[in-house]
Amino acid sequence: MLLSYLKIAWKVLLRRKFFTFISLFGISFTLMIMLVVMAFVNHVSGGHAPEKRIDQMLFVNLLHQQHRDGGNMNAPMSADFIDRYVRTMKTPAMVGLTSMTSSATSFANNESLTLDVRYTDGNYWKVTDFNFLDGRAFTAQEVGQADRVCVINEHTARAFFGTTQGVSGRDIEIGVHRYRITGVVPDVPVIRIYSSADVWVPYTLSTSYSKAAKLDGEFMAILLAADSKQVPAMRAEFAQVMRRVEIPDPKLVKTLHCHADPALASITRQITGHTDTEDDGMGIFLLGCSVLGLLFMLLPALNLVNLNVTRIMERASEIGVRKAFGASGGTLVAQFLVENVVLAVLGGLLGLGLAAGALQLLNDSHFIAYSQFSLSWWAFGWGMVLALVFGLMSGVYPAWKMSRLNPVDALRGSGGGPQ
């Protein structure tokens, strides 16, 4: 019986090509958008090199100061703040320091290059998992001595030297300074905001580096737990540490807030404006994404309902013949639901192909530097489930209405009222 339904469904879809095209377009386009968005999210917060242990990491990026006059200031932290309050924590297995990237101009083969420079400490190379193509990371000793050393990415190595091998130990001019290269690493996508750069240098070389006791600066901290189970305790300890931080100018600053968050939460906190509360905004963010996703999926489902009603009315004569020969309402409902399921599966597979093509075009365009997006099979699985659910939902009402048609009216092609 099921095989017969499938054959009928296939013939019907081929016979009504315009309906099939409109329906497939709605399903496949919706699924394609969902897969592309999930690829972006996975690229930002997934466990990929050099942040393979991202489920063991927390990120401390901004210090929020609420002034008594009602103003606010969000800024990265000073190295002194990280040394005094973050490195002294008990739960992290290790604390690394990094900065946001800044631009520097250099020249390679008579061409001007704008390079993204990131300042780090020696621990940064231990909390992350860079795969060195050549050489090594600079050490804590080199950082402490403020040696002019650097690590460069693959793109920079090829621009200057045409290769990634035998580069370590050579010199490179960046801005007005000359640095000795200690190692070469693969390119990191720019949307990995805590690890992407063209050049990494010791933070002690930063013009804003100071040993003076102050709170704000240009640095961020990466906390690495021994395992993912320790992350909640690490987050709770940092919250306790912040309660002990002394406000340097109580007459000017009313409160201080800073948080240790997972990668995605550190972004959603800024998006949702939850900088002065323990709530990182993930709940609101996920709820908003879920609502938008359901609405986005609901639109093609409603479109399919209207199309299915029209399609069924056009098949009134066929329905009348089948009912006249004894087909029950349940049999006819099952047939039309199978047609919708076949349509949903085809739309899902087409959506998978479109998403793969869109991501490949995005990768080839280098629109987001160094990024190589890939499909999330987890997201595709859920997308197919949703496509099937909405496909069934969009077919239930038209199928029920069709099963209630009066056989005589249906044979006349009038699509008259129910029995």
Banded pLDDT at 129 (limits 50, 70, 90): very high
DSSP state letter for 82: I
Of 68-72, 167-171, 368-372, 400-404, the poorest mean pLDDT is in 400-404
Give me the amino acid identity at 94: M
284's enclosing H/E stretch is helix 282-314
Over residues 4-32, the mean pLDDT reads 70
More confident residue, 314 or 223: 223
Cα distance from N-terminal residue to C-terminal residue, the chain: 26
Mean pLDDT, the chain, whole residue set: 85
Banded pLDDT at 417 (limits 50, 70, 90): very low
Of the ranges 48-52, 333-337, 386-390, the best mean pLDDT one? 48-52
Residue 131 has pLDDT above 80, yes or no: yes
For residue range 225-283, list pLDDT tens digits in order.
Answer: 999 999 999 999 999 999 999 888 888 999 999 999 999 899 889 888 888 888 888 88
**Alpha-carbon torsion angle 323, 326, 331, 335, nearest 10:** -50
Instruction: Return the pLDDT at 22.
Output: 72
pTM for this entry = 0.79
For residue range 380-395, list pLDDT tens digits in order.
Answer: 887 778 777 776 776 6
Over residues 99-128, the mean pLDDT reads 94
Over residues 293-307, the mean pLDDT reads 71
Dist. CA 328–CA 95, nearest whole Å: 70
More confident residue, 325 or 353: 353
Residue 86 has pLDDT above 80, yes or no: yes
The Cα angle at residue 248 between residues 244 and 252, in degrees rounded to 5: 120
Instruction: Return the pLDDT at 278.
Output: 85
Burial 81-116 (b: 16+ CB within 10 A, else e): bbeebbbebebbeebbbbbebbebebebeeeebebb
More confident residue, 12 or 264: 264
For residue range 151-182, list pLDDT tens digits in order.
Answer: 999 999 999 999 999 999 999 999 899 999 99
For residue range 68-85, list pLDDT tens digits in order.
Answer: 888 888 899 999 999 999
Q: Which two tokens stand for residue 39?
A: 């690829």
Over residues 48-60, the mean pLDDT reads 94
More confident residue, 412 or 321: 321
Residue 319 has pLDDT above 80, yes or no: no
